[in-house]
Amino acid sequence: MKSGWTNCITSSPEETFEKGKQFARFIETGDIFALSGQLASGKTTFIKGIANGLGYKGEVTSPTFTLINEYHSIPEIIHLDCYRETNLNRWINLGINEYFNTDSIVFIEWPEVIKALLPDRTITILLSHIEENKRKININI
Amino acid sequence: MIVLGIETSCDETSAAVVRDGMLLSNVTNTQVIHSQYGGVVPEIASRSHEENIQTIVESALSASKYSLMDIDAIAVTYGPGLFGTLLVGLNYAKGLSIGLDIPFIGVNHMEGHLFANLLDNPEFSYPFLCMLVSGGHTQIWEVQQYGSYHRIANTRDDAAGEAFDKGARIMGLRYPGGPEIEKNAMGGNPKAFPFTIPRVRGSELDFSFSGLKTAILYTCKKMTESEIQSNLNDLCASYQEVIVDTLIDRIHKAVEITGIRRFSVAGGVAANKRFREKVDKIVKPRSIEVSFPRMEYCTDNAAMIAIAGYERILNGETSSLNLKAIPNLSLDEVHSV
């Protein structure tokens, strides 16, 4: 990803979405993002904003149950969620490694489960609660 | 005509046999493993479809009293779902199709859900609305006639089943959260905590459940561990109530907007007793016909794939061997099969 992004605090889901849209400008093909943060910290909302900023106008919904959502845009966006499936072997069986070697932009929610499989170049985004509507968004490259 | 249905789009490996539109058998890995292990389900999700599919197909055939040689066609899910798991079913179906020299048809998983209702209720007539409400989906479809589908509502973020699960986790309850919340809600006051029905900007019908996660989280954060425990019935009852009320609200609005007074409900959340109770008390008295298919047809299953495939084959359709698995297949593409 390109440099220049500064960490921020948002005060509503709408603002988290807007920040995601702005964040999209720093993304490069093949980037992999691991999004960590507690329940309701805004991970999906931030990704919705990013996808929108990347030009994808379709629906972005939580992949908690579907496990992997693929959004057809150029480049393709892969939206993973390891919240429900905590078995590393199942992720390997699903061919998760193949998503890491393409031009696709990959977002992983609850990435802790598959930490061992993530390439070194993975960028961590940490979302945290400050208060009911405030969220902190930090990027660690 | 005997059709073998195969479904491997996500967690379940399932096979079913349909003869002339009548379901003869429907077997999913959950059931088989259940009986093998005496009710304890060991890490179903981690079992791979490759290990299961042969056994599941054999069980479905043997329960139907037919053999592979009797099958006239195969119906298989080719999307939407997980690319890796879809491929297992699709390639298995293609292999059988070549080996037995019979046709196969790719079926859209969502079309299967729309027709699950016909398995139990063949009299259910067009046009109808179908609410699919599970962990992965919360949608309303308008079905004018066979092959004509229009999705009129979707969730913007989380599905209703996911809201149950994550809310349960926040309240310290076990997985799966839906049944846990339902159990703990019994005897609770559904009005104790004022959660409000989420509105979606620019849409009367769409759903949004992610804000409820924040609401329950901050309600719990303001309480001590023991306060949460002593208020658990009220918390669960209130949280369940707002999810159920949202579904009921959208059923009424969908009827109002489309003028269609016939509804079927599919998906795991259809099992929720409070939801069914409110449908009986509030929806049905407004002369809206609501049909809940049997639970085994509500969740992911091959019976619905077999029946949808049977309809397509009757329609003269078959798929070619170069049919690909399409993870984000939409129902609008269903005509290009």
Residues of B in contact with A84 (CB under 8 A): 45, 135, 165
Averages of pLDDT over each 10 residues, chain A, 141 residues: 94 97 96 97 97 95 95 94 90 90 96 95 97 93 69
The ipTM (two decimal places) reads 0.93
A45: in domain: yes
Q: Please report whether residue A5 resides in a domain.
A: no
Name the domain count of chain A: 1
- Cα distance between residue A139 and residue B175, in whole Å: 31
Q: Domain for residue A122, yes or no?
A: yes
Q: Assess if residue A84 is contained within a domain.
A: yes
Q: Name which of A60, A66, A104 to mutate to probe chain B: the one with the most chain B Cβ atoms within 10 A of its Cβ.
A: A66
Residue among A39, A95, A133 minimizing CB distance to B170:
A39
Task: Output the CA–CA distances (angstroms, integers) from residue B130 to B110, B112, B147, B301, B309, in the order listed.
Answer: 11, 12, 14, 17, 19
Contact A68 B82 (CB under 8 A): yes
- Cβ contacts from A onto B, under 8 A: 82
pLDDT at position B123, please?
82
pTM above 0.80, yes or no: yes
Specify the CATH number for the domain of residue A39.
3.40.50.300
* Boundaries of domain holding A81: 11-140
The verdict on a CB contact (< 8 Å) between B134 and A65 is yes
Chain A interface, mutation test: which of B48, B200, B328, most A Cβ atoms within 10 Å? B328
Residue B45 is predicted with a pLDDT of 43
Q: Tell me whether residues B213 and A39 touch, CB distance under 8 A.
A: yes
Mean pLDDT by 10 residues, chain B (337 residues): 96 94 91 49 55 92 97 98 93 98 97 89 90 95 91 96 96 91 97 94 95 96 96 98 98 98 94 96 96 91 96 95 95 55
**Domains of chain B, with CATH numbers?**
2-115+298-333 (3.30.420.40), 126-292 (3.30.420.40)
Position A2 in a domain = no
Nearest CA in chain B to A66: B136
Tell me whether residues B10 and A40 touch, CB distance under 8 A. Answer: no
Residue A3 falls inside a structural domain = no
pLDDT for res B36: 53
By the CB < 8 Å criterion, does B152 face chain A? no
Residue B34: predicted pLDDT: 47
Task: Retrieve residue B246's tokens.
Answer: 């949202």
